[in-house]
Amino acid sequence: MLSFAALLAVTFYADVLPILERRCLGCHQAGEAAPMALGSFAAARPFAKAIRDAVLQATMPPGGGLPAAEASVLRQWAARPAPGPGARPAVLPVRPSVRDDLTLRMPAPFPIAPGATVDYQHFVLPTGQTTPRWIQAIEIRPGNRRVVHHAVAFVRTARSEFLRGGRLSVEDEVLGTYLPGEGVLRWPAGQAKLLPAGAEIVLQMHYTATGMAEEDQTAVRLEFGPPPRERVYTLSVAQWDFAIPPFAPAHPVTIEFPVQTGVRVLAVTPHMHLRGRSMRVTAGDAVVLDLPRYRFDWQLRRVLPRPVELAAGEVIRVEATFDNSPNNPRNPDPAATVRWGEQSWQEMMVAFVDVAIPAAWPPAAIYRPKRF
């Protein structure tokens, strides 16, 4: 007969596994981005201390922390890991799927040396589409999730200067992203992204070395749909001109973007690098993202529970802070003055903001006042 203490004990299969299934196994399973699987007692037991530390520091799951009751369960179990009765296979999250109307793939595997620092890589993928197409869903599928920190698919039109000596234009928007634990973006019925006729997709890859020789060949899968009621367009609300001084513990950088026509804000994805400390995004009077503890390991996309309506002239404001002090354990060089750049030891300050506009409107309407 079990003792009273044993009956009260927190066990893996009765208490811990249900939390892991809800919160963790999207990444912590074989073939996914996390470096260890946690779907059984035998697999999770060696990482009990790491689980406890992640709970105490609120670094997991991405975005910061668990509900207090769940965090307490994991801490109790980590102090005395026990399997408990009722062993069973984990119920893994169902991976969203994309109908494979068009697949574009990097032309060849890209090698990553064991200790390499890899510059951002750009691969131009011709689409072969001679008419405009509406994209209902996109999946960026890494060939090797161990080395893909994140990936971004951009639309590049035929007249674009992007990667031809110039920057992104209004027409060269972010089409979709791969973030650890998130591979498929699907827009609801009545909304879609536009792939203009003759456009190419530029696949921007950020790789991180693992200590072993690796390679990757990422693919982009597109599912097309009928003409929508609304076009989803991704604004890049970025501050390019900043200089973070040496040893600054909380250097502020801000940018404001006034929309020139009414839009509905749907989602926000923040992006900074190793010195990124916090980011807050407001749309008009509404706070659409508040991330007081930014982590470069986890690129997060927040879909708003309800779209935020912005009228012409209202402002999207992005406020970020950067920690360039020696107290930042990931700081490459506290003595450096840090400016915009693609590499991790440089910095970026951008919020990708998905907005909805009528399907017939050109995106330029968001940027410039209407003429009557």
Q: Please give the residue that has the higher pLDDT: either 223 or 55.
A: 223
Residue 63 in this model has a pLDDT that exceeds 70: no
- What band does 3 get if pLDDT is binned at 50, 70 and 90? very low
pLDDT at 8: 56
pLDDT at 297: 72
Helix (H, G, I), strand (E, B) or coil at 75: helix
DSSP string, 227-239: --SEEEEEEEEE-
The gap between the terminal CA atoms of the chain, to the nearest Å, is: 84
pLDDT tens-digit series, residues 97-137: 788 899 999 999 999 999 877 888 999 999 999 999 999 99
Among candidate residues 234, 242, 104, 240, the one with its CA nearest the CA of residue 167: 240
pLDDT tens-digit series, residues 284-310: 999 999 999 898 877 678 899 999 999
Q: Average pLDDT, stretch 64-82?
A: 87
pLDDT tens-digit series, residues 156-173: 987 777 777 766 667 778
Q: Average pLDDT, stretch 185-211?
A: 92
Sign of CA dihedral 47, 53, 59, 61: positive
